[in-house]
Amino acid sequence: MKNTGKKIAKGAAVGARGVADIIILALKALATVLLIILTTGVLFMCIFAFYVKNYLASDLDVDLYDFSLNLTSTIYYENEETSSWDVLYSLHGSENRYWVEFEEIPEDMQHATVAIEDQRFYKHHGVDWYRTVAAFGNMFLEMKDTFGGSTITQQLIKNITQYDDVTVKRKLLEIFRALDFERKYSKEEIIEWYLNTSFFGEGCWGVGAAAIVYFDKDASELTLAECASIVGITNNPSLYDPYINKENNKKRQELILSQMLKQEYITLAEYEEAIAQPLVFKSGAADDDVTEGDATTWYVDALIEDVIGDLMKAKWISYETAETLLYTAGYSIYAVIDPEVQAIVDEIYSDRANLPTGYVQSETQELDSSIIIINQHTGDIVAMAGGLGIKEGSRIMNYATDMLRPPGSTIKPIASYGPAMEYGLIKPYTTFDDGKDVKLKGTNWYPNNDNYSFSGLVTVKSALQYSINTVAAQITDLLTPTLSYEFLTEKLGVTSLDPVQDVAYAPLALGQLTYGISPRELGAAYTALANNGIYNETRTYSHILDQKGNVVIDNQPDSNAAFSELTAYYMTDMLQNVVNSGTGYRARLSNMPVAGKTGASGNWSDRWFVGYTPYYLGVCWCGYETPEYMGSSNPSTTMWNLVMEKVHANYGYTEFPVPDNLVRVTVCIDSGMLASDACKNDVRGNHSMTLLVPISEAPTGYCDCHELIKVCGLSYGLPSEDCPGDEIIEVGMITLEDIRYQVLCPPYLDDDDKPINYIIEELKPCKDHRIDPATGWYIDPETGYLIHPRTGMLYDMVNKKVYDQYSGWEVDIKTGMLIHPDSGKLIDPWTGKEYIPDENAGQNQGNAIYTPDGFIEEEPEMTPSPTPTDAIPRPEDDPDYSPPPQTPEPSSVITSPTPTPGENNDPEATGSLWY
């Protein structure tokens, strides 16, 4: 038994030693494995460190502020009702982004993002190792879970670097960058950048754009429900875009809200309220933003070009660079548009039916029109239309700002009348001769008037009222083209003049410019007249701020005193006459005075009207894209009226301002001196003008070129003893000896019935009241002959002869034919045929003329009229014969002096007319 026990004990000991050996061997093996693993790990770490140092280190450093993000530029307008600046348009390139500062991002937006995207965001240091390891396992072990391991920090890095390759290197780089990021930037900075760089569908980059596009709100105004809805989009915009799939967006929103509740970011009550809140989306909002390819309004077109041009000057950059900057820099641009006025312009100009008829229509193109409305006191462009009808396309040809066309007579006030008055060369009552024979000092050129007629002596005020070309030419001659050019370019901001070709009479007196002028620039020049002499450069915006609120451009317009206040007042007063009773009468407003000027290019292919009230200045143009003749009608006055009538509908009647220290005087428009009774009773009508002038310029003496003259009221000739007393009147007439200007005016004023003389030196005795007592016929004052009351023939009672009052030839009383003064042949005044007198023939009573008693001693026998003979050639065959001409026009008869009987007068000059 003892041996047996010993054997058992001995066997147990041996077994124990074997187990121990096995354990020792296992431990040695494990140690070896651990050593191998450790060695491998160390080796791996060395290799990894080497890899990081040599291949990744240069890519680890990422600075947020090194990245230039595309930011949406916003155009604002002032809402006068709310005293706020509201969005007019948004301009962006490929990315629509409004940067929202962290303080403006709602807490609900931040918490919703963290709850659904990165629960441990506020605990980790850039990398969520649990999710990272799980993500690696998913990648290498092909696990079924599809979650990602990226934190918000890592997603931000991917957003700004746009590096999203599915590779180990990218993941490793992202991890190390995230760790580095969290050492350099705060959680607030990271969440701010993440929410401003993530894509939210509908072209929206960042929550700022998303808030506007989906809910038409600023991001700071979003509710909890709206925040969750927007945050839900970024996971998969094509799946959760509410404009594409509203139900999916709602499900995603509810998931986010449940996570916020679970993570205690919101209470149960807040959760239930958010779930119940209806999501009211701004339907179609994505279409309201303006990208480089979308259509813009006429006003935005002009503003864009203005900003690009100003950026080029301010930053010394190219057009293309400035354009890119505008669409990507996130500028805030403050427009000076008046939405109410612009709405009126849009209403009128979007409908071609508002265009008046009467113009000559082209066979190949439609008539177009533009208008620009300016606040003359600031230079602000408050509204415009660059074309007629519905606008098609963005940044297309804008006829209000881009087009250059000859302005015609609209240039007269700013190139001739205004400057000449400013230099003291003319006054409103200065007179000029509107005649065809006037010679200019500086040129042989001389214009016609539109109607090819001339008015004689006219005042500056009347010449402007009726747009008389000859007077504008004379004023330009007085001023000189050089001074006119300098005034336009240096004081009125006109930039489109040719420095050689346009320093001439036709361009500066009549507006026939080489290249033309734009409505915008023409309107700017007129601000000096409408704004008490102060010129204001026009503008579409007031200033530009960058995304941090720094001023990029302070767009203060150029301004200068181009005219004195008095000159501006005189010009405005005269231009009111143009509208009240001159060429611009169709532009009159029902409740507001208007001053303005019409214009037409030389071939009538462009029609203009520039007009202003105490509130606004407007320039309207009508014409064809390719210039064509459009006739004498001016649609621009009507289009201007249609717009301005509505613009001024709510304004009370307001007079134009009048300068201080003026006195009211009544002056003679012929002499410029104080008007006398003779001036006021001028035979041509009242030739006095009442106006306000400075005391220093008020005339002190009375007119010395007018005199009161007694004339016969029937003939306007000097009274004779035969003129009845009640026919004698007293009228004012002028004497050329005392007139202050050398003029070549017609001596008669044609009142359509008879000539009325208004020059004393030309007065003739009254012939209407010198009556022969025996016959009752009038006596011709020049010859003393009797005037037949019906035929007008002249009867020489002394020599018993009758004369034709037109040709002056003697009339054969037997036949009624003219007696040729050289050949003695008889000429039929109706046919021009010649006859040889029949000495043996008696008077033919059918053709004999009437003679008073005692004119002939005995009645002649009645014999047939002489007949043509074959020996006498027909008048048309006689090379030396010229038949009497046809009846002259009444004006010719009136102004031709009565021929002296017996003289050899030329029958081609006047004709004979029988009853």
Contact 170, 176 (CB under 8 A): no
Check residue 358 and give its pLDDT.
Answer: 86
The SS3 assignment for 709 reads strand
107-136, pLDDT tens digit by residue? 999 999 999 988 888 888 767 666 666 655
Give Cα 809 distance to the centre of its chain. Answer: 66
- Round to the nearest angstrom and report the end-to-end CA distance of the chain: 189
What's the chain's length in residues?
Answer: 915
Choose the weakest-confidence range: 403-407, 417-421, 752-756: 752-756
For 436-445, 666-675, 796-805, 857-866, which range has the lowest pLDDT when averaged over its residues?
Answer: 857-866
Which 8-state DSSP code applies to residue 503?
A: S
Q: How confident is the model at residue 173 (pLDDT cuts 50, 70, 90)?
A: low
| 762-781 per-position pLDDT tens digit | 888 887 777 787 888 878 87
User: What are 333-344's pLDDT values in tens digits?
Assistant: 999 999 999 999
pTM for the structure as a whole:
0.70
Find, among 523, 506, 225, 166, the residue nearest to 373 by Cα. Answer: 523
pLDDT(4) > 60: no
Pairwise CA distance, residues 817 & 827, whole Å: 6
Residue 10 has a pLDDT of 60
Average pLDDT (736-746) is 51
CA distance 339 to 81: 12
Most confident of 42-56, 329-343, 714-728, 758-772: 329-343
Cα Rg of the chain, angstroms: 49
Q: What is the mean pLDDT of residues 290-316?
A: 85
One-letter-per-residue 3-state SS of 852-911: CCCCCCCCCCECCCCCCCCCCCCHHHCCCCCCCCCCCCHHHHHHCCCCCCCCCCCCCCCC
Among the ranges given (148-157, 711-720, 793-802), the one the predictor scored with the smallest mean pLDDT: 148-157
Give the pair of three-digit tokens for residue 590: 């029902």
Segment 412-419 mean pLDDT: 98
641: exposed, middle or buried (C-beta count within 10 Å: 0-12, 13-18, 19+)?
Answer: buried
Residue with tokens 């008490």: 532
How far is it, in rounded angstroms, from Cα 912 to Cα 816?
12
pLDDT digits (tens, 9 = 90+) for 497-549: 999 999 999 999 999 999 999 999 999 999 999 999 999 999 999 999 998 89
Higher-confidence residue of 160 and 734: namely 734
DSSP per-residue string spanning 62-100 = --GGG----B-EEEEEEETTTTEEEEEEEEESS-B----
Q: Per-residue pLDDT tens for 8-23? A: 556 655 566 666 777 7
Q: 619-660, pLDDT tens digit by residue?
A: 999 999 999 999 888 999 999 999 999 999 999 999 999 998
The Cα–Cα gap between 310 and 389 comes to 30
Q: Dihedral of the CA atoms 300, 304, 305, 306 (nearest 10)?
A: 100
Q: Angle 529-625-599 (CA atoms, 0-180°, nearest 5)? A: 30
Confidence at residue 134, expressed as pLDDT on a 0 to 100 scale: 62
Q: What is the pLDDT averaged over residues 876-882?
A: 41
Residue 78 neighbours by CB under 8 Å, 6+ apart: 84, 85, 86, 334
Tokens 């509505």 — which residue? Answer: 646
Q: What is the mean pLDDT of residues 89-93?
A: 86
- Pair 694, 566: CB distance under 8 Å: yes
By mean pLDDT, which of 112-126, 395-409, 890-904 is the weakest?
890-904
Q: Sheet containing 778-779: give its strands across.
A: 778-779, 786-787, 794-796, 801-803, 810-811, 818-819, 826-827, 834-835
410 vs 30, which has greater pLDDT? Answer: 410
Q: What is the pLDDT of residue 469?
A: 93
Q: What are phi and psi of 591, to 5 degrees?
A: -130, 15
Query: What phi and psi values does residue 29 have, to the nearest 5 degrees?
Result: -65, -45
Residues with Cβ within 8 Å of 216's Cβ and at least 6 positions away in sequence, in order, are 282, 285
pLDDT in tens, 805-842: 888 899 998 888 999 998 889 988 888 888 888 654 44
Give the pLDDT confidence of 250-279 residue by residue, as tens digits.
999 999 999 999 999 999 999 999 999 999
Average pLDDT, integer, range 46-50? 48
Query: What pLDDT score was predicted for residue 597?
Result: 97
> Among 235-244, 444-453, 564-573, which range has the highest average pLDDT?
564-573
Could you report the per-residue pLDDT of 355-400, keeping only the tens digit for each?
998 888 888 999 999 999 999 999 999 999 999 998 888 889 999 9
- In the chain, the percentage of residues whose pLDDT exceeds 70 is 78
Residue 232 CA to residue 427 CA, distance in Å, equals 76
The tokens of 376 are what?
A: 């003359």
For residue 734, what pLDDT is reported?
Answer: 84
pLDDT band at 888 (very low <50, low <70, confident <90, very high): very low
